[in-house]
Amino acid sequence: MKDIQNHPPIMFQGQVVSDKPEMKLLGVSFSRKLEWKTHLKNITRTAGQRTSMLRRLGPVFDKAGPVTIYKTYIRSKMEYAPLSWMGASTVHLSALDKIQRRACRLIGLGPEEQLRHNLSSLSHRRNVAAASCLYRMQCIKCHTLLKSLVPPVRQPAARLTRQSLLLNRYSLQSPVPQGMTASRTLRSFDRAFLPAAVKIWNSLPSSVISDITTQGMQSFKCRVNKYLK
């Protein structure tokens, strides 16, 4: 990767911050183009290695034991800071889904048993987490910079249409990309946390969102989890 030319040096506490193609911050690997390829490859490798242990646990435990180990030791690895990289390409995200499917095979769980053990798809869990985070951003006194990311509420339509009738009373304006023209870049923007979370949020009926209050966060998460299944 060629170095970026003609940019001023980045300073921190009097020291020049060197320009690198990737950096790791709080356990998440950020690339210069926010492609998340390296980060998800690292997750996939570690989670895949841990999944192998499930084969040896079968003769020792009933199914509940390996499921608990999978959730706490393997799935948690694949769900660390997911909102930061949920806009990654489908190719890299599907690698995580393969690990969960492999884990279910090793444990011996069919589709119905997976539901009983609360093993929803990873994409479903990321969507629930995104909607829940957007809920919290609207009802908690968070940092002003984070609060400013919440789009304004949609104004009532001048005339009623089928689409406007489907929108909940808390529906938000969709974020608009700035200075993006390439279709590939626009698709990446649409998959990122805020645009994706707003799209999920606007698809929810008013009965699922209910009233946005601090006391209602947990019940909202339960409702949206049930609705999106």
Mean pLDDT of 178-185: 60
**Least confident segment among 155-159, 172-176, 195-199:** 155-159
Q: Using one digit for the tens of pLDDT, what is the confidence trace for 152-166? A: 887 765 555 555 556
Main-chain phi, psi angles of 204, to 5 degrees: -80, 140
Q: What CA–CA distance (Å, rounded) separates 66 from 100?
A: 12
Q: Which tens digit of pLDDT belongs to each residue from 69-109?
A: 999 999 999 999 999 999 898 999 999 999 999 999 999 99
State the pLDDT at residue 2: 47
For 182, phi and psi rounded to 5 degrees?
Answer: -65, 135
150, 167, 191, 209 from 171: Cα distances, Å:
11, 6, 18, 10
Q: How far apart are CA 136 and CA 43, in angstroms?
A: 27
CB of 172 closer than 8 Å to CB of 151: yes
Q: Is 118 helix (H, G, I), strand (E, B) or coil?
A: coil
Virtual torsion, Cα 90, 92, 97, 102, nearest 10 deg: 140
pTM value is 0.82
HSE value, Cβ hemisphere, 13 Å, CA-based, for 106? 22
Q: Averaged over 49-78, what is the pLDDT?
A: 88
Intra-chain end-to-end CA distance of the chain, in Å: 42
pLDDT at 69: 92
For residues 173-177, give the mean pLDDT.
Answer: 83
pLDDT band at 1 (very low <50, low <70, confident <90, very high): very low
Cβ-based neighbours of 103, under 8 Å, separated by 6 or more: 51, 54, 70, 74
Residue spans of the domains in the chain: they are 20-119, 125-162+170-228
Higher pLDDT, 14 or 96: 96
Instruction: Please count the residues of the chain.
Output: 229
Three-state DSSP state, 114: helix
Handedness of CA 191, 194, 198, 200 (dihedral sign): positive
- For residue 225, what are the contacts with CB-CB under 8 A and spacing of at least 6? 120, 128
Least confident of 13-22, 81-90, 181-190, 202-211: 181-190
Q: What is the mean pLDDT of the chain?
A: 85
- Which region holds residue 79: left if phi is over 0, alpha if psi is between -120 and 50, else beta? alpha
**Strand 28-31 to 22-25 pairing:** antiparallel
Which of 57-66, 132-141, 165-174, 216-225 has the highest average model confidence (pLDDT)? Answer: 216-225
What per-residue confidence (pLDDT) applies to 3?
47
